[in-house]
Every structure is written in C-alpha cells, then in structure tokens.
Amino acid sequence: MSQPDAADIIQPSSGAHITLPAWYAGAHHNGLIIPKTKYGRMVFMIPFLGHVIAGTTDAKCAVSDRPTARGREVGFILEALQDYLDIQVRPSDVLSTWSGIRPLAADPRAKAEHLIMEEPDGMITVSGGKWTTYRSMAEEAVDLAMATGRMPPNARPHSRTARLPLLGGAGYTHTLPQQLAQVHGPASAEAAAGVASPAALAKTGAGRGAGSGRVVIGEDTAAHLAQTAEDRGLGARLVAGHPFLEAEVVYAVWHEYCQTPDDFLARRTRLAFLDARAALSALPRVVDLMAAECGWDGARRSTMSASARDYLATFLPAPAAAANAAAAASAVAAATPAAAA
Ligand SMILES: Cc1cc2nc3c(=O)[nH]c(=O)nc-3n(C[C@H](O)[C@H](O)[C@H](O)COP(=O)(O)OP(=O)(O)OC[C@H]3O[C@@H](n4cnc5c(N)ncnc54)[C@H](O)[C@@H]3O)c2cc1C
C-alpha cells in the first residue's frame, strides 16, 4: 500500500507434515530429530496427542487458503525417516498429511527471520517472523513507532510487552503440572502439560475434586463436558480409537464460538491432523450435532457438510504419490534455503 512497486518482501515456503501411528515412537514414546538429512534439511518425528508427527519440508510455494502437503513432500519425509529407522516406513501407515505456509522474510535487509522497518511515508512494515519471536517483534515494532515519533505524545516511551505475562501465565511455575497432580490427580497434570484432551480430564473427574479454590487449567471445561455428556446422553465417542466425545461438539458451539464442522474437526479437536479418515467418518455425526445446536436448515446443513468434506479431503494421504519418494525428495530439499523448522 505504501509503495505499490516494491519488490516482494515475503517468500512463502511450504512446510509439510505427516501423522503416523503412536507406535512409530516406540514403547517409550521417543522423539527423534535428524539435524541434517542427506539432503541437508532437518527432519523430526515427535509424539503428539497419542500419535506421531513428522516433518517438515521447506519448499517455495504459492499462497493458498488451503495449503496441502504435496506427494513429493510426503515422499521426502518418509524417505528421510527411512534412512534412520530400522522398521519399514510405509506410505500406508500415514494417517494424515498437511502443510503450513511460512512467511519467510525475503528482504536482504532482514537481519533475523523478520524485518521491521519504517517506510519513507512513515508506515511501519512488520514481515516474516515466527511464533517464538512474536513478542519481541511486537516490542521492536512498538519501539520503532515510538522512536519515529508517530505515537500519541502521552504514550509510554517503550513497549511494555516484556513485562506482561501471557493470559494464564500469571503465577506459572515449571512445577505446575506436578503441583496439579498432587492436588487433583494425574489427568490435571497431563492437561496442564498439554498432553490430555479435556474429554480425558472430564472422564476421570479430575479438575473437579479437592475444592482447593485455585484456578485449575481445564477445570471449567472438564466440568461442563462431564455435565453435558451426562445430561444430554452425549458421552459416546465421535469415532472409535480417538478420545473426543459427542459432548465436545456441543461444548465447542456454546463455549468456543465454533461455527463450522471443519473448525471443530481441525482446530477445536485436532482429529483432521491426527487421522484424516477418522475425521471424515466423524463428520456426519458432528454435522448432526451442530445442526441441532445452531438450528441449521437442510440447505445450510448440506453446504456445511460439503465444505467440511472438501477441507478434510486435503488431509487424506495419497499413498501412490507418497511412494514416489526418491526422485522428488531431492527437488524438495533443494528448493529453498533451510528455514529453522
Ligand atoms: C511449517 C511451519 C513451521 C513453523 N515453524 C516454526 C518454528 O519452528 N518456530 C516458530 O516459532 N514458529 C514457527 N512457525 C510459525 C508459527 O506457526 C506462527 O508464527 C504461529 O502459528 C502464528 O500464530 P497465530 O496464532 O498468529 O496464527 P495461526 O497459528 O495461523 O492461527 C490463526 C488461526 O485462525 C484460523 N482462521 C483464519 N481465518 C479464520 C476465520 N475466518 N474464521 C475462523 N478461524 C480462522 C486459522 O485456521 C488458524 O487456526 C512455523 C510455521 C509453519 C507454517
């Protein structure tokens, strides 16, 4: 907007991932990181929500609302793992495939992975960056705005970001999971550590016990879920082999502003990322439950269902493409300079 003729300052880069069954991580739930595969790129394999995710690629791509893992990217990941695992890494074991687009800073002036600068007309550009650096980017951007004198005169001289705890971060200590386990049982600790779903928490009743008066992560969620499951007879699992309960759909609609079945299956739960076929088989029941809660008519229901089906299809592994690993893998690896992850 500031300079219509400016060169691109972002190089979009696709980062594909695959999900494998938990047993890929072995009995001890091991993670594996290969800092430098034969193509030079780092590849990892880590336990995630009762499964294993592996990735990733770093290939120039076009920006799309629905990025998908390309067959050759999946092949690259499988081949990299095969070089380090004794078992046969089979495309048929892949449960889901997906990709995200990194906004890499392409501008040579970028000192780090992001670029923050003042344009000649005073607009401040923030580009690139990552999750682990977003607060320092915010700090730099605000400080630059202060320094260039375009903030209100009564504004503070520097960003306050560094001293503000994140929501939920006040009083956090690294022993919080253990403290929760002592008060409420192990499921609370797992939830605090991010390894248990609210449903698992609800099932054990953890989070409701003890009455310590302290805020327990997930306590409200667990109590609501348990109540909904009991009152409405929605304690059944949405799909066999995964912990998500029917009650979670109702909870997501009423307490998390969930409006679409694909949002529920991809983000409120992670089922699409964990197991694409399971997400597709859960879809009709999710649509039923959401239609009842949201009052959808037949037409709306069909639109929602079709749109979710299209989206979930982007996670389906394509074994034939994945099998075509070796030739394509080197092309993927060579496509862009290595990003951090
Ligand atoms: C492959 C890859 C690897 C990365 N590796 C790293 C790394 O190693 N370290 C690091 O620090 N960062 C990494 N990043 C960057 C990091 O993932 C992002 O910086 C971070 O996720 C941004 O968080 P966010 O909440 O701002 O946006 P997002 O995580 O993108 O969340 C936005 C959410 O809003 C949803 N949404 C969008 N539009 C709508 C709508 N209309 N209605 C409802 N929902 C909507 C999206 O689906 C999404 O879930 C990586 C990114 C990629 C793609």
pLDDT value of position 166: 81
**For 98-149, how does the pLDDT look when each residue is reduced to its tens digit (9 = 90+)?**
999 999 988 777 777 899 999 889 899 999 989 999 999 999 998 998 888 7
* Lowest mean per-residue pLDDT among 11-20, 54-63, 147-156: 147-156
Pocket test for ligand 1, best of 57, 131, 132 (most atoms within 8 A of CB): 131
Which band of pLDDT confidence, cut at 50, 70 and 90, is reported for residue 333? Answer: very low
Work out which ligand 1 atom sits closest to the CA atom of 56: 1
219: its two tokens: 């306590």
Domains of the chain by range and CATH? 10-108+318-334 (3.30.9.10), 114-163 (no CATH), 176-313 (1.10.8.870)
pLDDT value of position 156: 74
Instruction: Indicate whether residue 341 lines ligand 1 (CB < 6 A).
Output: yes
How many whole angstroms from 140 Cα to the centroid of ligand 1? Answer: 20
Which band of pLDDT confidence, cut at 50, 70 and 90, is reported for residue 287? Answer: very high
pTM confidence score? 0.79
pLDDT value of position 37: 93
Pocket test for ligand 1, best of 17, 61, 68, 102 (most atoms within 8 A of CB): 102
pLDDT value of position 225: 78
Cα–Cα distance list, 328 to 67, 115, 171, 271, 335 (Å): 19, 32, 49, 29, 11
Work out the percent of the chain whose per-residue pLDDT is above 70. 82
Higher-pLDDT residue of 159 and 280 is 280
- In the predicted model, is pLDDT for residue 206 greater than 50? no
DSSP notation for 188-257: HHHHHTT-S-HHHHHHHTTTSSTT--S--TTHHHHHHHHHHHHHHT--SBSSTTS--BHHHHHHHHHHS-
User: Quick one: which H or E segment has residue 114?
Assistant: strand 114-118
pLDDT value of position 56: 94
pLDDT value of position 187: 65
Instruction: Indicate whether residue 63 lines ligand 1 (CB < 6 A).
Output: no
Higher-pLDDT residue of 59 and 278 is 278
Of 170, 162, 269, 270, nearest to 217 (Cα)?
Answer: 170
289: its two tokens: 């439950």
Minimal-distance CA residue to ligand 1 atom 8: 341
Instruction: Indicate whether residue 257 lines ligand 1 (CB < 6 A).
Output: no
